[in-house]
Amino acid sequence: MKKLINNPNDVVDEMIEGYIKAHPNQVRRLEENKRSIVIASETKENKVGVLIGGGSGHEPAFMGYVGRGMADGVAVGNIFASPPPEPIVEATKAIDKGNGVVYIYGNYAGDIMNFGMAAELAEMEEDIDVELVVVNDDVASASSEEKEKRRGIAGEFFVTKAAGAAAEKGYSLKEVADVARRTNERTRTMGVGLTPCYLPQTNEPSFSLKENEMEIGLGHHGEPGVEKGELQQADQVADRLVQDILNDMAMSNGDKVAVLVNGLGSTTRMELYIVFRRVEQILAKQGIEIYRSYVGNYSTSLEMGGCSVTLTNLDEELISLIDAEADCPMYAQL
């Protein structure tokens, strides 16, 4: 895979350098740790902090979610690798306004360990209250009986959006964490992988599929999915992804959802809108109302080919949080 990079060991730091230089009014890097990025402008007095983070390679996640009404800070790991506790703790100190910080991250062993350690350090050494919220929206990664084993993928966007809006509205630490957890509970994602991504340092494919083969439920880092098979048409793929979600999270006529059709990297917006078209048809047939739609690259796996569908079953409070204004460097660039 041809890549526009310099030394493969420098991709994350050079990306961050470019990011900070591109959006100096919106984000800044901490002097204390070059992998800690926080919102550049002053946030509201007494606001609860929202901190996210994870491995790189999922851009715009997670770095791109930092902004007013979204996350206040992010700890940036190496590609597909959790950030260590240090950048998490430094970002925590920078964004805490005295009312504590909510950590939101995906359900991966490294993130669980590092965000957990960082929370202990922040509480013991800095006297900052921390709430941990683990996202596990990926239906394919474990059965509903073992939901606690499921990985976090694109649904983290909605969890961050709801928590960020709640914090901006002045919710307490516990309330922001509760909103984030409830959003996670009401969110499901199913994806399909078509073509692999290539880690810059090895330039090896993250998995292999035959020509004209797809894998349902393939993980964000190339983890095995639930089923390999011949590549189907977009409508059939969308049918399968939505059906798996609805089988896992019962919804009723009249429910309102937020929908995210997310590209994994190299899949075109044309294809994503074709998939969305079918998702809308299926939901309309079941009387489920799409309250808001998101179509594009929100959480990628480098240049992986494929997409995921995320549904969040909204309640009245989540609707008001989804509606709230937000501003992030990787969006709203007009």
d(CA 257, CA 3) in angstroms, rounded, equals: 37
Choosing from 149, 208, 269, 286, the residue that interacts with a second copy (CB under 8 A) is 269
Taking CB under 8 A as the binding criterion, the range among 15-23, 29-37, 116-124, 249-257 that sits at the site for a second copy is 15-23
DSSP single-letter state for residue 264:
-
Residue 231 touches a second copy, criterion: CB under 8 A: yes
| Residues listed for the chain | 334
Choosing from 81, 142, 234, 319, the residue that interacts with a second copy (CB under 8 A) is 234
DSSP symbols for 34-72:
TTEEEESSPPPTTPPEEEEEEEESSTTTTGGGBSBTSBS
Choosing from 235, 248, 315, 317, the residue that interacts with a second copy (CB under 8 A) is 235
Query: What would the two tokens of residue 240 be?
Result: 């399968």
Residue 306 touches a second copy, criterion: CB under 8 A: yes
Taking CB under 8 A as the binding criterion, the range among 28-36, 83-91, 109-117, 319-327 that sits at the site for a second copy is 319-327
d(CA 60, CA 15) in angstroms, rounded, equals: 11
Q: Contact letters (x/-) for a second copy, 42-61, by CB under 8 A?
A: --------------xx-xx-
Residue 274 touches a second copy, criterion: CB under 8 A: yes
The answer to whether 23 is a known catalytic residue is: no
In this structure, the number of other CB atoms found within 10 A of the CB of residue 331 comes to: 16
d(CA 233, CA 182) in angstroms, rounded, equals: 34
Residue 39 touches a second copy, criterion: CB under 8 A: no
d(CA 285, CA 282) in angstroms, rounded, equals: 5
- For residue 114, the minimal CB distance to a second copy (Å) is 21
Choosing from 144, 243, 247, 268, the residue that interacts with a second copy (CB under 8 A) is 268
Reference 104, options 161, 142, 57; nearest CA is 161
Residue 80 in contact with residue 197, Cβ under 8 Å?
no
- The one catalytic residue in 221, 240, 256, 278 is 221
- For residue 34, the minimal CB distance to a second copy (Å) is 14
The answer to whether 58 is a known catalytic residue is: yes
Reference 38, options 82, 97, 123; nearest CA is 97
Element spanning 141, H or E: none
Residue written as token pair 């240090």: 86
Taking CB under 8 A as the binding criterion, the range among 128-136, 173-181, 245-253, 261-269 that sits at the site for a second copy is 261-269
Residue 89 touches a second copy, criterion: CB under 8 A: no
User: Which of residues 85 and 196 has its CB atom nearest to a second copy in the complex?
Assistant: 196
The SS3 assignment for 246 reads: helix
d(CA 63, CA 12) in angstroms, rounded, equals: 11
d(CA 233, CA 108) in angstroms, rounded, equals: 32
Residue 320 touches a second copy, criterion: CB under 8 A: no
Touching a second copy, residues 144-203 (CB under 8 A): 161, 192, 194-195
Residue 88 touches a second copy, criterion: CB under 8 A: no
Q: Annotated active-site positions, please? A: 58, 221
* Chain positions contacting a second copy, by CB under 8 A: 2-6, 11-12, 14-19, 21-23, 56-57, 59-60, 64, 69-70, 161, 192, 194-195, 212, 214, 231, 233-235, 237, 265-278, 280, 290, 293-297, 300, 302-303, 305-307, 325-328, 330-334
